[in-house]
Homo-oligomer: A and B are copies of this chain.
Amino acid sequence: MNGTSKGATELAELTVQEKERIARAALSRLMEPQDIVGLALVRAVGALDALGIATGELSAGASVEREITALLSQDGTTPTWTGMATSQRRWAPRVRDLAPERDLATMRRLGGRLVIPGDELWPGQLADLGLQEPLCLWWRGPERPIPSPRRIIAVVGSRDSTSYGASVAGDFAHGLAQRGYSVVSGGAYGIDAHAHRGALSGGASDMPTIAVMAGGVDRFYPAGNEDLLRTVTHQGALIAEVPPGSAPTRYRFLQRNRLIAALASVTVVVEARWRSGALNTAHHAESIGRIVATVPGSIHSANSAGCHRLLRDGGAVCVTDVGEVAELSGRSGEWMAADKETPAEPQDGLSLEDLILLDALPLRSASSVDKLATVAGLSPDAVRAGLGRLGLLGLASSERGAWKRSGNA
């Protein structure tokens, strides 16, 4: 833990916000994006003390543990949390690799920065994620603010897009950028890349496009999109909640999707297979009251099956041109207001893991445990345990060993 211990004396000379920045830089390396206990700890005691507790330099009293429990239950999350000691054991292996000043220097060298809550550049709409608001954003690109959600549309979809999906994504993004919208996507091959390119080509705004990475922003991933992502760092923003050097793991992809959903007022799924990461983004968007829209396509195209699924499940709006998409962004405010008034749902008290599992559960034909494990990115054992919990809540039901959502889910 050379980074933080060396920096301990220097910290005293820094402003509060800069100390906070260094602490959050360190915490973002210690804690995975989905570490809800870690996020609650930061809420409870602040980033500086959280870092002290996470590294074992400070001890967390019973009152801190009580506060974390309260925060988790207030957020509607009830992980199997067995006290701070368990979490500390999870963080311990990474403590010796902490070097937040080095990471911050890397960002400066890349023409970037670390943005944290309280900064002018912090996108306020991320607060809609509640306890799952990210600790910080590692950010490459000109120092320009990210627009309000009403001026951002997420355009997402399959990596293996068809020429139809490519043309729709490009057209929509181009038209949205021309209308002054910013297009957010995930920087991946296929629909994401066509969305970024279309937005850059139509760019009439200061921030035509934003790419949210699952891994560190020091690397352009995937390599085939290097030129595109480099252009994004010149004209838009390349952001991630994980520090430089972080690999884009499957779980980080799923977590990254919540940032795409939260930045925008509307998430448009252009093409998606029956099981697709883009549907995960759509579910994130729905869960925080954002609008989900989708593009219809041929029923003979497997790449539109996920879109039709969203239409059939009733949550998504069918959009057929860029005007219809832009129109939706004006409606997002009403939807969010309406959303706040809805009563508690059975799924409100679920852990993130169980929510992901619930998202993965099909509404109609049932899925095997192995299939669910693949879709949800969880181990088969974790899936089995989660299905048990969801079953008790009446949210999942099984038929001959296969599972689907049940009526009230």
Residues of chain A at the chain B interface (Cβ within 8 Å): 164, 167-168, 295-300, 304-305, 307-308, 311-312, 317-321, 324
Contact yes or no, B299 A320, CB < 8 A: yes
Residues of B within 8 Å of A319, CB to CB, are 312
Inter-chain pairs besides A296-B297, A312-B318, 4 sampled, C-beta below 8 Å: A164-B300, A296-B311, A296-B318, A318-B318
Q: How far is the CB of A365 from chain B (nearest CB, A)?
A: 10
11 contacts between A and B (CB under 8 A): A167-B300, A296-B297, A296-B299, A296-B307, A297-B297, A297-B299, A298-B298, A299-B321, A305-B320, A308-B320, A312-B318
A318 and B308 CA atoms in complex are apart in Å by 7
A351 and B304 CA atoms in complex are apart in Å by 42
A168 and B301 CA atoms in complex are apart in Å by 13
Residue of B nearest to A320 (CB): B299
A308 and B304 CA atoms in complex are apart in Å by 14
A311 and B307 CA atoms in complex are apart in Å by 13
Residues of B within 8 Å of A164, CB to CB, are 298, 300
Contact yes or no, B297 A298, CB < 8 A: yes
Q: How far is the CB of A13 from chain B (nearest CB, A)?
A: 59
- Which 6 residue pairs spanning A and B have beta carbons closest together? A296-B296, A311-B318, A299-B320, A308-B320, A312-B318, A308-B318
- Contacting residue for A299 out of B295, B300, B312, CB 8 A: B295
Residues of B within 8 Å of A297, CB to CB, are 296-299
A312 and B297 CA atoms in complex are apart in Å by 14
A321 and B299 CA atoms in complex are apart in Å by 8
Residues of B within 8 Å of A321, CB to CB, are 299
Contact yes or no, A168 B299, CB < 8 A: yes
A307 and B311 CA atoms in complex are apart in Å by 13
Residues of B within 8 Å of A307, CB to CB, are 296
Residues of B within 8 Å of A295, CB to CB, are 299
Q: How far is the CB of A399 from chain B (nearest CB, A)?
A: 16
Residues of B within 8 Å of A300, CB to CB, are 164, 167
A5 and B261 CA atoms in complex are apart in Å by 77
User: Which of A164, A300, A319, A320 has the largest number of chain B CB atoms within 10 A?
Assistant: A320
Residues of B within 8 Å of A298, CB to CB, are 164, 296-298
Residue of B nearest to A321 (CB): B299
User: Which of A164, A299, A321 has the largest number of chain B CB atoms within 10 A?
Assistant: A299
Contact yes or no, B308 A296, CB < 8 A: yes
Residues of B within 8 Å of A320, CB to CB, are 299, 305, 308, 312
- Contacting residue for A296 out of B167, B168, B304, CB 8 A: B304
Q: How far is the CB of A364 from chain B (nearest CB, A)?
A: 9
Q: How far is the CB of A328 from chain B (nearest CB, A)?
A: 11
Residue of B nearest to A299 (CB): B320
